[in-house]
């Protein structure tokens, strides 16, 4: 049986899914520092996958990784939502579909 090598952060149940498929896998538990670093890489990976597919499933994966980053960095989802709401109150959201084309200085 061929062996495929990875260096990839995966969801918690992936090892049991692999083993249920009759395969074996070698995994390790990351240090907090390595975990955050790989989460940051995973954000880029999931964003690229969403950009390619534009699927709701890939967007959900991106949200899952974002939630993991929030927790890994010691924040709460409530804090994240509060920062988002504060920014929306001060600067608005994106509902009006505004494209900024140009800004001129003075008169």
- d(C-alpha 14, C-alpha 29), whole Å: 13
pTM of full prediction above 0.75? yes
Q: What is the pLDDT along the chain (107 residues), one digit of tens a residue?
A: 789 999 999 999 999 999 999 999 999 999 999 999 999 999 999 999 999 999 999 999 999 999 999 999 999 999 999 999 999 999 999 999 999 999 999 87
Strand boundaries in 1-107, DSSP class E: none
Inter-axis angle of helices 77-91 and 56-72, nearest 10 = 110
**Domain segments of the chain as ranges:** 14-89
Are 53 and 16 a contacting pair, CB within 8 Å?
no
* Tens-digit pLDDT profile for residues 72-83: 999 999 999 999
């Amino acid at each position: 049986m061929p062996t495929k090598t990875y260096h990839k952060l995966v969801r918690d149940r992936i090892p049991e899914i692999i083993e249920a498929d009759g395969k074996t896998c070698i995994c390790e538990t990351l240090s907090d520092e390595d975990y955050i670093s790989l989460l940051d890489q995973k954000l880029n990976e999931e964003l690229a996958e969403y950009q390619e597919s534009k699927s709701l499933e890939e967007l959900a994966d991106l949200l899952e990784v974002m939630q993991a980053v929030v927790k890994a960095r010691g924040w709460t989802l409530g804090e994240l939502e509060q920062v988002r709401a504060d920014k929306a109150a001060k600067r608005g959201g994106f509902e009006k579909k505004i494209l900024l084309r140009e800004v001129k200085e003075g008169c």
